[in-house]
Amino acid sequence: MSLNPPITDWRGRTVWLIGASSGIGRATASALHAHGASVIVSARNTDALEAFAALHPGARAMPLDAGDAQAVKDAVHSIVSSGALDCVMYCAGHYREMTAPKMDLADMLRHVQVNYVGALHVLDAVLPYFLARSAGHISLVGSVAGYRGLPKSLAYGPTKAALVNLAETLYLDLRDAHIGVSLISPGFVDTPLTAQNQFAMPALISPEQAAQEILGGWSRGEFEIHFPKRFSFWMKLLQLLPYRLSFAAIRRFTRL
């Protein structure tokens, strides 16, 4: 049984993607455009957004810093004043490796601002609109790094764990209001963020492959869309293990 209404036909639907200048967000916007959706792409990189719009006729570039709550509200007002908004995907992200002995508070707060607070700004702006319509879909891009504490993920992992809990709570609160909620939990995807990793990334996939996984999950009405399964299932297994075993497994796997 589907947890969300399956979305199989994107024609006539308007989708707003925040964090779509590169990586998973850009690839998903491109895939949605190819399936007939009206796509609005936002990020801080204006040049990248305009380049996307030039390659995807009909797409709308809307430069935005999701950390600016008023700017997000203004963006939503601009979107809905010219037509319906059917789906919002928050995929803005910030990532730097960090360990406790080298804790950098300023960068930790930057992770919180981009990865979590920006999502709250978007929710604050779109929820009244979706609730008034009794329709809409909210999709938050988390990470398998949010499943358990991981080495070198002192700043990044907790923000993704927060998104997991946020998405779960939103789903329970909004299901009776006919608003879909989905959580996207990628493993390693070849993006500008993961390019900084200095280790071999297991089951690495392309942003285009990630986009197809996401559209497939939406078409099946899934709540959590996690991929690639050959990696994400192992990460989910860690959630089920007692700490004594999960800590040992993580240390053995990462060699850290």
Q: How far is residue 157's CA from residue 154's CA, in Å, rounded to a whole number? A: 6
pLDDT at 10: 98
pTM of the model: 0.95
Length of the chain measured in residues: 256
Q: List pLDDT tens digits, range 209-256.
A: 999 999 999 999 999 999 999 999 999 999 999 999 999 999 998 887
Residues noted as catalytic? 156
Q: List pLDDT tens digits, range 51-70.
A: 999 999 999 999 999 999 99
**Short-list 209, 170, 181, CA closest to 28:** 209
pLDDT at 201: 82
Contact 40, 104 (CB under 8 A): no
- Distances from the Cα of 57 to the Cαs of 34, 43, 52, 119, 203, in angstroms? 10, 18, 9, 27, 33
Write out residues in the chain with pLDDT < 50, as ranges.
none
pLDDT at 196: 84
Query: Any bridge partners for residue 226, and if so which?
Result: 185
Right CATH for 14-254 from 2.60.120.10, 3.30.497.10, 3.40.50.720, 3.40.50.300: 3.40.50.720
pLDDT at 193: 85
- DSSP, collapsed to helix, strand or coil, labels residue 1 as coil
Q: Is the peptide bond before 228 cis (omega within 30 degrees of 0)?
A: yes
**Short-list 134, 17, 14, CA closest to 82:** 14
